[in-house]
Structure 1
């Protein structure tokens, strides 16, 4: 009887080296699955709305929005391909095989890295717009931004460098049969995936913050650096400052979601990813759901686009010419 009970607690009762199941109440597990599934679905829907909005409406075809589009694509892929696997990873019983396990970690690193690099590009865009506005239109063009976005996604495949051992021998780091863990080179991941991009983001936004504060004070006191500056230029500056503040919120939320994972990573050079790091990993992925929520709170054009999409007005003739920014 005791042997039967022990076998029932195994993920694969017919295999002696099988992992054991969690003795977790079924109601707790069900609530966790429902919550994670809801977040995954919400991430997919919200980022799809961003993708449709920026892709469809011609007035939104700007270099800054092209970067937001690339970020939305990476966040959409997180919700579509990574979060569902994370639901399976919530339990120690992984029934999808070692190859799918490796694929999950590979997809997660690609999409997360793409999000990080997109954040760097967005910070550079805001830096040039605020700190060097006279050269913005010539420095940040649609063609150049497309090239930068392409390089961003190419760079994202650097995860091959520290997942190579897992690809050569899937399951080699599993402590028991039916587990899904992966070993990464912690130092390499921290430098390429966190320290370099985050330090760049922070430095650029500190510079943007200093310039934005000085410009805000100048506007309040009706003092301009160039007295011949037109009111139209001042309006553009105000819009740029507002965009910088909005994207500053995006970056701040990004740092709050990513820092816990990399703080844990600093504890050692090699990290075994698995069920023990589920919460901080899910926090990283949850950032992909928060980005479009921030757009909805701060961007009137996004709310207007959502209304046109939900009411199917987007299907009308010449809807791509709609004046979204009015």
Structure 2
């Protein structure tokens, strides 16, 4: 979610990006994300206990209504809010790039005289592909787990589901989403691979933010396109 919002600001408000997204604010946001992640789990100390007979976790909610509220809370927190945030920001990015591509349409020509797609068209297609990949994988990993979890607490799934092999499998599937993200970004963005290589080789200069080179190249490309179009 944070990366989606960061990229939205970088593309839609490029002139304000460096002023809004500073190293200190990014570090603060990372700390806030971790703190909130811990806080969202605190109530489990009071809502769960251990069955001494089976040595497994069991729920102990005050009433069935509280159980349903918690179920919808998790459903929204882990599925609805992240997916909507990623979808809305990426759609807005694609719209912005589409608008820019229309402005620069026909301004970029290859040496042989043939028109080539502007940077914005290429960037829009890349963003759309990335949006589909990230959201689809997130949905595949988390939707089965969250739907089963919601149905269990509503009462549509039998109590035997908890701690069953199916429950464990769907839980692991959700966690695997965190394993796929580095692979997705490394596969789609050469900058991730280059940054990782520089970090391991200790060749990174001044800890340059990951997308700075890309943003500089994009600004330069837009400038050249504008000049070529005017000429």
Q: Normalising by structure 1, what TM-score? A: 0.47
Higher relative contact order (CA 8 A, sep 6+): 1
2:148 matches 1:259: no
The answer to whether the 8 Å contact 1:246/1:298 transfers is no
2:108 matches 1:210: no
2:203 matches 1:319: yes
The aligned residue for residue 54 of structure 2 is 177
Instruction: Say how many residue pairs are matched.
Output: 184
The aligned residue for residue 156 of structure 1 is 37
The aligned residue for residue 295 of structure 1 is 185
1:307 and 1:280 map into 2 onto residues whose CA distance is 34
Deviations 1:40-78 (CA, angstroms, capped at 9, x unpaired): xxxxxxxxxxxxxxxxxxxxxxxxxxxxxxxxxxxxxxx
5+ residue gaps in structure 1?
1-119, 224-233
The aligned residue for residue 12 of structure 2 is 131
2:74 and 2:45 map into 1 onto residues whose CA distance is 10
Q: Normalising by structure 2, what TM-score? A: 0.63
2:187 and 2:20 map into 1 onto residues whose CA distance is 29
Deviations 1:278-306 (CA, angstroms, capped at 9, x unpaired): 22212112212211221332222333456
2:10 and 2:198 map into 1 onto residues whose CA distance is 29
The answer to whether the 8 Å contact 1:130/1:240 transfers is no
The answer to whether the 8 Å contact 2:198/2:204 transfers is no
1:215 and 1:124 map into 2 onto residues whose CA distance is 19
Shift of 1:238: 8.2
The answer to whether the 8 Å contact 2:83/2:135 transfers is no
Q: 1:305 to 1:218 in 2, by over 3 A?
A: same
RMSD: 3.6
1:240 and 1:143 map into 2 onto residues whose CA distance is 28
The aligned residue for residue 277 of structure 1 is 167
1:217 and 1:321 map into 2 onto residues whose CA distance is 37
2:31 and 2:126 map into 1 onto residues whose CA distance is 24
The answer to whether the 8 Å contact 2:98/2:121 transfers is no
Shift of 1:319: 2.4
2:186 and 2:47 map into 1 onto residues whose CA distance is 42
The answer to whether the 8 Å contact 2:79/2:146 transfers is yes
1:145 and 1:243 map into 2 onto residues whose CA distance is 25
